[in-house]
Structure 1
């Protein structure tokens, strides 16, 4: 069984996810409506945390205390290359109750041992890259995860969307235009092939169709749009 997956991003009017001022408090206040069981985050975000993470101490090797009544989400990070080495720091933050690394069969053995020594759970699926569908099924069966909120950039968003794993797309559209060729967009994936008949106005094969669920104007002229992914 697959959990319900929600993409939630703040974007400029031209679809960029950085390069403009955003209200982080507003962004995170909205997420409570989904009552997420797991936060799925891209590894790039936490690679940047290395600059602020303190060195490890003996507490990194102490098994975490599990509280059945803890309603906070699980933090899940795909990391088949074994690059995240700041789990000890993430465990000190108050946002999550448990931590899971998603790895593949190509993940270095020394990284799997690193996770084991620090009591970080690991799901291994896929050959060279994480099989996201199977990983989501494992999160559902192993941890009773029913709702996942993806807090990620365009690459992970693109993988989830192209593999048909997303149920809802939520975007906060800021009244800003960023432009440029290096800024990141909400959805990055290889170009789709052109429509077979090449008819004018026809979308490319594989275009993802959305159905508008709700619109709301927030402070600062920010528009909140919520879409259901059409199946």
Structure 2
């Protein structure tokens, strides 16, 4: 079995994730309305977020080496971060301390540097190893479904990870908060590119919700036809 996955992003009128100031408050208000047990965050997205809030990553404390104590009634979601290249080494403690997640589950592959795996083990981060060169998302999601009781996942990521999961048929819904702005050429698209060698080079959608938000934004929610 696999968790249900919803992509949720705020974009410009021409589909860019960057190049404008999004309505973050409304974005997260809508995100909170979607029932989810975990948030899937791309490693590049996580790294970019850390750069926004920290000029310099603070050093680890002794407590950062220990897994946080999670109460049985804690509804805070897990954060699932694919990071087979280990770009978040020496940075994960900031996310763990943030209060936005109960803990982090890192997805890695056989190509992941041994130094990064050692880093994860020494700090008691859960990690799931699947795939040879890249993470095998279907296999990883099956393990998360069975091992962590995760039934629904909200994606908070960029065009690359969105494209990968859509191409592999793992996404169930897409939620778009459309902003009243058009940005120029230097932008990051919601979908980078679909895998043209797969059956998912074109994906049909069914509109299940459309709503005007804050007078000039539009919320569009689509079901992915499978």
Q: Does 1:106 align with 2:111?
A: yes
- Residue matched to 2:47: 47
After TM superposition, the score normalised by the length of structure 2 is 0.93
- Residue matched to 1:34: 34
- Residue matched to 2:10: 10
Q: Does 1:144 align with 2:139?
A: no
- Residue matched to 1:135: 140
Alignment of 1:1-231 (within 5 A): 1-48=1-48, 49=50, 51-85=55-89, 86-180=91-185, 182-189=186-193, 192=196, 206-231=201-226
Per-residue CA distance 1:48-67 (angstroms, 9 max, x = gap): 31544311121211232121
Closer/same/farther in 2, CA of residues 17 and 137 from structure 1, 3 Å limit? same
Per-residue CA distance 1:110-138 (angstroms, 9 max, x = gap): 11110011111000000010011111111
Closer/same/farther in 2, CA of residues 110 and 191 from structure 1, 3 Å limit? closer
Q: Following TM superposition, where does structure 1 have runs of at least 4 consecutive aligned residues deviating by more than 3 angstroms?
A: 190-193
Unmatched segments (≥5 aa) in structure 2: none
After TM superposition, the score normalised by the length of structure 1 is 0.91
Q: Which moved more, 1:68-77 or 1:30-39?
A: 30-39
Equivalent-residue separation in structure 1 for 2:68 and 2:106 (angstroms): 15
How many residues get paired? Answer: 220
Equivalent-residue separation in structure 1 for 2:47 and 2:200 (angstroms): 35
1:45 alignment partner, SS class? helix
Equivalent-residue separation in structure 2 for 1:31 and 1:47 (angstroms): 20
Closer/same/farther in 2, CA of residues 116 and 19 from structure 1, 3 Å limit? same
Unmatched segments (≥5 aa) in structure 1: 194-203
